[in-house]
Amino acid sequence: MSNTMEIETSKAPRQKLKRHHSDLLMIDIEAFSTPVKSTKKVKLNSCNLLSNTEKSYAYLLFKTGESNEKEISSKLKRDQRTVKSFLSKVSSQKSFDPNHKSKGRWKKGGGKLDSRHKAMLRNWINQGVLQSAKDGWRRLNKIKNLPFISYKPVNNYLKTLGAFVKPRLKSEVSEENKAERVRFCTKFKKFNFKRVLFCDESLFELNRNNQKVFRLKGSPPPTKIKYNPNSRVMVWGGVSFWGKTSIHFVEGTMKGKDYKELLQARRRDILDIFREKGKWYFLHDGAPCHRPQTVKRYIRRWLTPNIMPHPAQSLDLNPIELVWALMKKKS
């Protein structure tokens, strides 16, 4: 008979602590890891706080498109504003994306540029590939053989060389439009333009400040009274040898439907100019609002069947531009 004896211990088995979380409708899904650090314990019974489990569940439903913000807040039994705030933040920062790498502060780099950094920046500036100082800083830190550099010394060095500014746009007529201009001028070289109504729109900016004053060092910035600030008006009109139409003020953006209604409103003005003058022509440029077929059909039926072509990039071939220039000079 064995002398061993089984002794029953009175120590109760260790119970596994339950995790505090809200009641969720658990579904069979793959494990979804969240690359966020563990946070301090909070009272989860508050309607303004979400646990990591709730965050993962909410983000998964939102990312897969199964539920919207209102449905997610209803399932979580949380305030809708809290869920909306969390989803908007996680959509911009992507904190719950496993491939997220841009979270947190920028990596701190060196504080001084060496000759290689400066040479690379000057080379990129000469090539015209840089759009900003941040663009140059990113390019430098992508080169493995160069030491990592902070953004501030890059920005300061580029300031010593110059500044990023918007270039002035220079209009240049394409070769195709040059040939079209030549054909137009050759065809209408001996044409009598007294029978043409030249129409166009123009934008006027009222009370624009074109004056400069001298400012002494240490003195406050000078001020000037400006009436009707930011007042911009677009107008339409037509001129010819025999007379002109009245000015029409355009509200908002001019579209094909708006342009047709404008011609309907000024139809009597236009017809009175060429009354008893015989055959006449209507000319306007190729603006998008002038091109619809409904506009062309209205002109041919109710104004004149003769629409004169107008070459692209040819503002100088429309005499009304001289009228707009004089009006803007006086305003």
71 and 142 both lie in a single domain: no
Q: What is the pLDDT of residue 26?
A: 46
Q: What is the pLDDT of residue 48?
A: 57
Does the residue 252 lie in any domain?
Answer: yes
198 and 321 both lie in a single domain: yes
What is the domain-level CATH number for residue 246? 3.30.420.10
pLDDT mean over 75-93: 81
CA 47, chain centre distance (Å): 37
120 and 96 both lie in a single domain: no
- Which carries the bigger pLDDT value, residue 327 or residue 62? 327
196 and 259 both lie in a single domain: yes
- Which carries the bigger pLDDT value, residue 95 or residue 225? 225
Q: Is the dihedral of CA 11, 15, 17, 18 positive or negative?
A: negative
Residue 202, domain extent: 191-209+224-330
Does the residue 2 lie in any domain?
Answer: no
Q: Is the pLDDT of residue 25 over 50?
A: no
- Which carries the bigger pLDDT value, residue 71 or residue 300? 300
Does the residue 133 lie in any domain?
Answer: yes
140 and 203 both lie in a single domain: no
Lowest-pLDDT range, 52-66, 114-128, 153-167, 207-221? 207-221
Percent of the chain at pLDDT above 90?
44
Does the residue 47 lie in any domain?
Answer: yes
**Per-residue confidence band for 96, with pLDDT thresholds at 50, 70 and 90:** low
32 and 132 both lie in a single domain: no
pLDDT mean over 34-49: 47
**Per-residue confidence band for 95, with pLDDT thresholds at 50, 70 and 90:** low
Does the residue 175 lie in any domain?
Answer: no
324 and 256 both lie in a single domain: yes
Query: Which tokens go with 87?
Result: 């989803």
Does the residue 311 lie in any domain?
Answer: yes
Does the residue 105 lie in any domain?
Answer: no
28 and 67 both lie in a single domain: yes
**Per-residue confidence band for 324, with pLDDT thresholds at 50, 70 and 90:** very high
Q: What is the pLDDT of residue 41?
A: 44
As a whole number of angstroms, the distance between CA 108 and CA 151 comes to: 9
Q: What is the pLDDT of residue 34?
A: 44
Query: Which tokens go with 172?
Result: 């240049």
Does the residue 55 lie in any domain?
Answer: yes
200 and 126 both lie in a single domain: no
201 and 322 both lie in a single domain: yes
H/E stretch holding 204: strand 196-205
Q: What is the pLDDT of residue 331?
A: 66
88 and 122 both lie in a single domain: no
pLDDT mean over 322-330: 89
Q: What is the pLDDT of residue 244?
A: 94
- The last residue of a domain, from among 100, 124, 142: 100
Q: What is the 8-class DSSP label of residue 243?
A: E
Using one digit for the tens of pLDDT, what is the confidence trace for 137-149?
999 988 888 888 8
145 and 94 both lie in a single domain: no
Domain count, the chain: 3
**Per-residue confidence band for 200, with pLDDT thresholds at 50, 70 and 90:** very high
In terms of Cα–Cα distance, which of 320, 281, 279, 285 is closest to 181? 285
